[in-house]
Every structure is written in C-alpha cells, then in structure tokens.
Amino acid sequence: MKLKESKLLSSINGIAHGFSDKYLGDSASQVAAMLNMKGITLLKQIHSDNVVLLREPATETGRTEGDALVTDIKGYGIAVATADCVPILLASNDARIAAAVHAGWRGTLKEIIVNTLRVINEQYGIDPGNLKAAIGPSIGSCCYEVGEEVGSLFSEKYADSSEYLLKKGYSKYILDLKTANKLLLSREGVHDIEVLDTCTKCSENFYSYRGDGNGTGRQLSVIGLTR
Ligand SMILES: [Zn+2]
C-alpha cells in the first residue's frame, strides 16, 4: 500500500506527508509507521474555524476540538480525517512549520484556511508567500451539487464566487470546494499551490460521504517535520 503524494510538498526537504486511501483509511498508527513518524495527532473535527497549535509531542487523538493543526515539532505528524471535505496540507519552504486543515463547505465559508495562515504568521512570523500548499483528495465539482441554501451563502459573500459556483437548473448549484479554497489561498498570498485532481466520489479508492452515505470511513491527510 502506498500513500498519495503532492509533488510540491515533496520538493521541501525536511517534510514528510501523504494522503491515505480507503484501504489504509484512518489507521493513524499504520500511516505513521509508513512515514517514519512517532505518532499522528488528530482533532475532534467540528466544521469550525478553530486552529490548534501543537507545541508538544502528542499522539492523543480526537480530544481537542478544531479543524486545523499547526506544528513546529519534529518527528510527529498532524492530520485531518475526511471523506469528501477538502484536506489542505501546508508547509513552509524552510520546513519550520507544517499544517493540516479540514475544510468542508462550512469551514470554507468560515475561511478556516485564512485563519490558519493568520495563526502561522502571528505565531511564527512566516508569510503566506513562504508556504507551499497541497489540496488533497476531496469531492470534485463533477459530483458536488448543493441547494440554494448553501449556494447563496457563497454567492452573497464572494464577488468571485462564479469561478467555483455554477447554477444548475432552478435551485441547485455545482460547488467546487477545491477551487474555492485555492482562491482563498491565492488571495492571501500563497503562490505555490497544488490541487490533486482525485474526486473522492468518482474514485473507487477513496471513501466518499456522498457516495457511500453517513456511515462511511475516513482517509487521512498527514504532514510532519522530519528534522
Ligand atoms: Zn466526481
């Protein structure tokens, strides 16, 4: 079994990362071993804009509530668990910090990615221009239809929403959450962004909330510092 990788993040020395599929699922210990990490920390994800700093080695998972983790600790991974929601992994070019972000439509609208960039800047003095970002396997615009109640939240908030929100018929929209997050990253000054084109619903190799229903599993998007 193999983890999916971002070429962009792989180009940074001192960073280990990977995206699991449904065969590895959310088996944190197995993924940690594959990435040579002493452990992987996860949050209790609540579709918020809460960013949590991991300052000490910890492998406890799912206790603290939040949807983004930032760390400068070496040897340990941080991760988000997703089925269709957008996982975003970030690292600074100097491999001083890494971050993992979970953005469904709620988190995207709350701009959790922007909040993460703000925390990284405030806590570590690192500008968005010195970060690389990878947007991982998540539901594509091919498969993500939402109702008026969700679509209108984006169209009312963003002047550029037509770049990722397409009206379909009378009261439906096609929402491209990967592009919505990519635009937020660019708006804040992150220039190096890779979007993995895997759609979790189209691909048989990934769990999909839309495709498999409520009880479906989760895959992990993991990142950490190695040195
Ligand atoms: Zn699809």
Q: Which domains does the chain have, with CATH numbers?
A: 7-141+178-225 (3.60.140.10)
Q: Distance (Å, rounded) from C-alpha 225 to C-alpha 9? A: 11
Query: Rounded to the nearest whole angstrom, what is the distance from the C-alpha of residue 226 to the centroid of ligand 1?
Result: 34
Give residue 60's pLDDT. Answer: 65
| Ligand 1 ion: Cβ-proximal residues, 5 Å cutoff | 140, 142-143, 199, 201-202
Give residue 56's pLDDT. Answer: 84
Specify which residues 149 forms β-bridges with.
none
Classify 66 in phi/psi space as left (phi over 0), alpha (psi -120 to 50) or beta: left
Q: Higher pLDDT residue, 11 or 62? A: 11
Q: Distance (Å, rounded) from C-alpha 61 to C-alpha 42? A: 5
pLDDT value at 179 more than 70: yes
- Token couple for 153: 């939240």
Which amino acid is residue 45, in one-letter code?
Answer: Q
Give residue 63's pLDDT. Answer: 80
What number is the average pLDDT over the span 170-182? Answer: 96
pLDDT above 70: percentage of residues in the chain: 99
Give residue 62's pLDDT. Answer: 73
Query: Rounded to the nearest whole angstrom, what is the distance from the C-alpha of residue 211 to the centroid of ligand 1?
Result: 10
Q: Which of 189, 129, 184 is nearest to 161 (CA)?
A: 184
Rg of the chain in Å (alpha carbons): 16
Query: Rounded to the nearest whole angstrom, what is the distance from the C-alpha of residue 33 to the centroid of ligand 1?
Result: 31
E-strand stretches of the chain: 15-19, 40-41, 51-54, 68-71, 77-82, 86-92, 98-103, 131-135, 145-147, 165-168, 172-175, 192-195, 219-225
Q: Distance (Å, rounded) from C-alpha 130 to C-alpha 189? A: 9
Query: Rounded to the nearest whole angstrom, what is the distance from the C-alpha of residue 58 to the centroid of ligand 1?
Result: 35
Give residue 156's pLDDT. Answer: 97
What number is the average pLDDT over the span 120-125? Answer: 98
pLDDT in tens, 56-67: 877 666 789 999
pLDDT in tens, 95-105: 999 999 999 99
Give residue 59's pLDDT. Answer: 61
Query: Rounded to the nearest whole angstrom, what is the distance from the C-alpha of residue 59 to the centroid of ligand 1?
Result: 33
Q: Higher pLDDT residue, 73 or 227? A: 73
- Name the one residue in this structure whose structure tokens are 């908030």: 157
pLDDT value at 145 more than 70: yes
Which amino acid is residue 7, in one-letter code?
Answer: K
Give residue 195's pLDDT. Answer: 98
Specify which residues 17 forms β-bridges with.
223
Burial of 162 (0-12, 13-18, 19+ CB in 10 A): exposed
Range in 7-11, 57-61, 167-171 with the lowest mean pLDDT: 57-61
Hey, how many other C-beta atoms are within 10 angstroms of the C-beta on 215? 6
What mean pLDDT is reported for the chain? 95
What number is the average pLDDT over the span 169-193? Answer: 97
Give residue 53's pLDDT. Answer: 95
Q: What's the length of the chain?
A: 227
Query: Rounded to the nearest whole angstrom, what is the distance from the C-alpha of residue 190 to the centroid of ligand 1?
Result: 26
- Going 181 to 182 to 188 to 192, the CA torsion angle's sign is positive
Range in 54-68, 127-141, 154-168 with the lowest mean pLDDT: 54-68
Query: Rounded to the nearest whole angstrom, what is the distance from the C-alpha of residue 208 to the centroid of ligand 1?
Result: 10
What number is the average pLDDT over the span 149-163? Answer: 96
